[in-house]
Amino acid sequence: MTPGRVLIAYASKHGSTREVAERVAEVLCSAGLAVDVLPAGDVGLLREYDAVVLGGALYTGRLHKDARSFLARHREPLSVRTLAVFALGPKTMNAADVAASRAQLDRALKKTPDVEPVSVAIFGGVIDPAKLGFPFNRMAASDARDWTAIEAWAGELAGRLAARPALDASGR
């Protein structure tokens, strides 16, 4: 079984989700997978990919619009591909913050019920007041990303993806 290419599509306003997508790509590549990393809004057809990882930031209770649009636009091809999803959002990794972010992500995923991720993860978000407008620029700076947890999730995902066969010419 030789898996095909993996697409990591990310939706980010300020770059922290892109940084996580790039780290996930590094882990997948080190496991021998061929990976492309692209902004979700720039992705065309998915036919050359056997698996997709979608990453999106959660802002004010909603998944980034480019991630939502990606799911809607690629609903049919995603229904026959392995899909994993991660989101960045909570300011801390305490249970209540993570649960609230997971509920926000689950609401977004329910809008494409025929698309079922094999893995979903919530990672801490980043607040960089210098990149934010008023009143958010008055928030305290923080970075709740746990790189060890991100790499562990990516490593587990790499094992799953490496064990799956590539799609055939019909996309199945």
pLDDT digits (tens, 9 = 90+) for 83-137: 999 999 877 788 998 999 999 999 999 999 999 999 999 998 766 556 656 656 6
> What is the model's pLDDT at position 135?
59
**Residue 167, in any domain of the structure:** no
**Residue 119, in any domain of the structure:** yes
Number of structural domains the chain divides into: 1
For residues 1-12, average pLDDT = 81
pLDDT tens sequence across 10-65: 998 878 899 999 999 999 999 999 999 999 999 999 999 999 999 999 977 789 99
Q: How far apart are CA 6 and CA 39, in angstroms?
A: 14
Write out the residue range of the structural domain in which residue 39 sits: 5-162
Instruction: Say if residue 140's pLDDT is above 70.
Output: no
Higher pLDDT residue, 91 or 66? 66
Burial grade of 110 (CB within 10 A; 0-12, 13-18, 19 or more): exposed
**Residue 168, in any domain of the structure:** no
**Residue 29, in any domain of the structure:** yes
**Residue 148, in any domain of the structure:** yes
**Residue 100, in any domain of the structure:** yes
Residues 6+ apart with CB under 8 A from 76: none
Strands 126-127 and 142-143: antiparallel
Does 135 sit behind a cis peptide bond, omega within 30 degrees of 0 on the bond before it? yes
For residues 64-69, average pLDDT = 96
**Residue 26, in any domain of the structure:** yes
Q: How far apart are CA 33 and CA 86, in angstroms?
A: 19
> What is the model's pLDDT at position 24?
98
Tokens 């392995």 -> residue = 82
